[in-house]
Amino acid sequence: MPPKAAGRCFYEDRHRRRCRVNCSVHRDFLVVLNVPEKESLEIKAEVFSQNGGIILRQQLSTKEDSSQTTTIFSAEQLKKATNNFDESLIIGKGGYGTVFKGFLSNNKVVAIKKSKIVDQSQVEQFINEVIILSQINHRNVVKLLGCCLETEVPLLVYEFVNNGTLFDYLHKQGQGVNVSWKTRLRIATEAAAALSYLHSAASIPIIHRDVKTANILLDDTYTAKVSDFGASRLVPLDQTEIATIVQGTFGYLDPEYMQSSQLTEKSDVYSFGVVLVELLTGEKPFSFDRAEEKRSLTTHFLCRLKEDRLFDVLQVGLLDEENQQEIMQVSILAARCLRLTGEERPAMKELTMELEGIKLTKKQPWINAGRNFEESEYLLYEAQSSYEHGDSSSGQQNTGYDTLRELELIDFGNGR
């Protein structure tokens, strides 16, 4: 990226006068005022090149499909789309950037994300990720439409998803109380399908790395769309894990990843397990507002599961006679995702199939004809849990047991 002095920007140094550029110091947008047009174009071209624009164009020229789906937007286009990045159009803020609602000239509504400054040494990887993500075409993954590289901080343009996040749906203004189990199960299945696609069906496997309810968007029909790939990593085809600086969100982080810094697809699986528990309980992953033994949602959930008191932790009003079996099955899936050893967790593809199977059983009850529910209790797979050292991703402490291995069979007859 262009070098900056403290409190000043690259363009101010270049022109040796007061900066009139809305860059990262001045609103992150390259609009040069009182600078000759030719010089302004030269600056944009220089920044475009430094952000990998030339590499991107070369990549697109060799990929027929991506050239049809990836758009390189100009700075002026996105300035106009957001009314010069009006703060009233901000629809989200996070550790990886700010997202604005934008209106393109063809009336298409988009989400425009200002990411943090890209490390110059990572430009080629950034461009490769733009290419890969722009080729993803899955109904449950937010579509990357293109980018703008004329600004000091590259801008990414995504499809606009209009109904907020799953986090808001569950936790804001009591809305979660009205979210039916049927809707929760469908959302969980759709999110699992998206992650399964990223892990195994994309041209290069992608580890999301920040799976959480705040990164699962909902459209007007409450269809789930996995979003925010600011922390994602492409996995070389000849590798199963990659070493990285630990990144993610407190409460969702895979404890094994935190200890080893070795990122694998199973790190997403652990985070998805937290999402399942959130859907089951309606509680946030961690809260100091709860009693000490309940602050870590995953620890509290697993303890109640061990004690055969699952129904004590479910969101009030969620359980009924019709969904009892489904809730038990999903609870076991969540526990399997939360195993501290990644190798013991199921793959996202397996999780997707099992969630789809649970939905199918609901639609076609004859599948279980002749089977007595009380006689077909569910095996809780061995779930090693070394909690004596705590789980720093969610503030877990020793809960008084070191393993769930003794739970070969759980009697969910009463659930309490």
Looking at residue 221, its pLDDT comes to 93
Looking at residue 104, its pLDDT comes to 96
Looking at residue 185, its pLDDT comes to 97
Q: Which residue has the tokens 């995953």?
A: 298
Looking at residue 250, its pLDDT comes to 83
Q: Per residue of the chain (416 residues), give pLDDT as tens.
A: 444 444 445 444 444 443 444 444 344 444 434 445 555 666 777 776 666 666 667 666 665 554 456 788 998 999 999 999 999 999 988 666 789 999 999 999 999 988 766 666 666 666 766 777 777 889 999 998 988 888 777 888 999 999 999 999 999 866 666 789 999 999 999 999 999 999 988 778 888 888 999 999 999 999 999 987 765 666 655 555 566 666 778 899 999 988 888 888 999 999 999 999 999 999 999 888 888 888 889 999 999 999 999 999 999 999 998 999 999 999 999 999 999 999 999 999 999 999 999 988 755 554 454 443 443 343 343 433 333 334 444 444 333 333 333 333 334 444 44
Angle between helices 181-200 and 348-363 (to 10 degrees): 150
**Does residue 325 contact residue 370 with C-beta atoms inside 8 Å?**
no
Looking at residue 64, its pLDDT comes to 56
Q: Which residues contact 343 (CB under 8 A, 6 or more apart)?
A: 266
Looking at residue 362, its pLDDT comes to 59
User: What are the structural domains, with CATH classification, of the chain?
Assistant: 35-159 (3.30.200.20), 166-389 (1.10.510.10)
Helix, strand, coil percent values for the chain (each to nearest 5): 40, 15, 45
> How is residue 213 written in tokens?
């309810």
- Residues designated as active site: 210
Residue 259 CA to residue 347 CA, distance in Å, equals 21
Looking at residue 147, its pLDDT comes to 86
The pTM of this model reads: 0.75
Antiparallel, parallel or unpaired: β 97-103 and 90-94: antiparallel
Q: Where are the alpha helices (DSSP H) in 82-180?
A: 123-134, 166-171
Looking at residue 360, its pLDDT comes to 83
